[in-house]
């Protein structure tokens, strides 16, 4: 991870952000999330974000009766790092995950999209993922064992869903970042993705991820789908 994104993650701490609710999509630190934006209010949100700091909060939409708001309490802050517009007026963007947040309030605002007051206090370690070093993992017996266990689980899930994976390329990704990327793209249900997002530490997320991968690979959760468009 470049020094630019490490610095950005440490200094970017807005108290209010625009939020993009989308079931099945979570954004974790360091990872990229491509999005296809076509709903007018969210096109407006992207326009406004591009005029300022390019920050957007990704949150999962949930059933209204779960918390009374229709959105999850915890989400991921992202910065628009790629943008293009299609001939039919859609926006294709990529968000770079910076850090997680918890929503403290949903104020009444004049914008057609929702905004949220947030705090980063529950997740003080998130920016440190930008400084993770693969070298220390390679020299660690526990690091090698942790990666091996994750690789076994990933291979089981990939075989179950019929996906080809470049395992050599994955071996070059530092373990905490690989855990985050796998948590985002794996075909889990929205509640399972939210559990992975809210895991307090990378180790906790890795253990939960491995368990879910084996469970889904065995068919214990049925067919799950993941969408990333709105």
The pLDDT tens digits of the residues spanning 165-213 come to 999 999 999 999 999 999 999 999 999 999 999 999 999 999 999 999 9
State which of 102, 123, 144 marks the end of a domain.
Answer: 123
- Is the same domain home to 148 and 82? no
Average pLDDT, the chain: 87
Residue 153 has pLDDT above 60, yes or no: yes
**Do 110 and 163 share a domain, yes or no?**
no
Mean of pLDDT values over 111-140 = 75
Which residue segment(s) compose the domain that 35 sits in? Answer: 3-123
Q: How confident is the model at residue 122 (pLDDT cuts 50, 70, 90)?
A: very high
Domain boundary among 89, 123, 157: 123
Looking from the CA of 101 toward its CB, the CA atoms found within 13 Å total: 27
Among residues 92, 123, 154, which one ends one of the domains?
Answer: 123
Is the pLDDT assigned to residue 67 strictly greater than 80? no
Determine, yes or no, domain membership for 37: yes
Structure tokens at 162: 């019929």
Whether residue 7 is found in the same domain as residue 117: yes
> How confident is the model at residue 125, as a pLDDT?
81
**How many domains, the chain?**
2
What's the pLDDT score for residue 224?
42
Q: Residue 229 domain-assigned?
A: no
Same domain, residue pair 117 and 140: no
Please report whether residue 192 resides in a domain: yes
* Residues 71 and 143 grouped into a single domain: no
Residue 37 above 50 pLDDT? yes
Is it the case that residue 127 has pLDDT exceeding 90? no
Whether residue 154 lies inside any domain: the answer is yes
Q: Which two tokens stand for residue 160?
A: 């179950």
pLDDT at 1 over 60: no
Q: Mean of the pLDDT values across residues 92-104? A: 96
Does 82 map to a domain? yes
Contacts 24+ apart (CB under 8 A), 198-201: 198/74, 198/100, 200/123, 201/125
For residue 197, tell me if it sits in a domain: yes
pLDDT at 225: 38
Q: Would the pLDDT of 134 be above 50?
A: no
pLDDT for 226 equals 38
48 class by beta-carbon count within 10 Å (0-12 exposed, 13-18 middle, 19+ buried): middle
The model's pTM: 0.85
What percent of the residues of the chain are helix, what percent strand, and what percent coil, each to the nearest 5? 40, 25, 35
Choose the most confident range, by mean pLDDT, from 4-13, 121-130, 159-168.
159-168
Which range has the top average pLDDT, 64-73, 82-91, 165-174?
82-91
114 and 17 both lie in a single domain = yes
Residues 135 and 100 in one domain: no
Question: Are 135 and 205 contained in the same domain?
Answer: yes
Mean pLDDT confidence for 99-107: 97
Tell me how far the alpha carbon of residue 26 is from its chain's centroid.
Answer: 4
- Asked if 25 and 108 sit in the same domain, the reply is yes
| Mean pLDDT within 6-10 | 56
């Amino acid at each position: 991870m470049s020094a630019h994104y490490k610095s950005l993650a440490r200094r970017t701490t807005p108290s209010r952000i625009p939020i993009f609710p989308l079931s099945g999509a979570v954004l974790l630190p360091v990872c990229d999330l491509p999005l296809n934006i076509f709903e007018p209010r969210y096109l407006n949100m992207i326009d406004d974000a591009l005029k300022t700091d390019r920050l957007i909060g990704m949150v999962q939409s949930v059933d209204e009766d779960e918390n009374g708001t229709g959105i999850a309490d915890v989400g991921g802050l992202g910065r628009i790092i790629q943008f293009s517009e299609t001939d039919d007026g859609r926006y294709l963007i990529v968000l770079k995950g910076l850090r997680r947040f918890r929503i403290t309030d949903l104020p009444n605002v004049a914008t057609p999209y929702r905004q949220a007051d947030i705090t980063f206090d529950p997740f003080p370690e998130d920016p440190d993922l930008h400084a993770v070093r693969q070298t220390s993992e390679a020299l660690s017996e526990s690091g090698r064992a942790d990666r091996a266990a994750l690789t076994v689980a990933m291979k089981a899930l990939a075989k179950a869903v019929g996906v080809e994976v470049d395992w050599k390329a994955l071996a070059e990704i530092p373990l905490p970042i690989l855990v985050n990327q796998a948590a985002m793209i794996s075909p889990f249900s929205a509640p399972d993705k939210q559990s992975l997002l809210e895991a307090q530490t990378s180790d906790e997320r890795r253990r939960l991820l491995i368990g879910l991968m084996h469970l889904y690979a065995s068919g214990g959760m049925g067919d799950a789908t993941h969408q990333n468009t709105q």
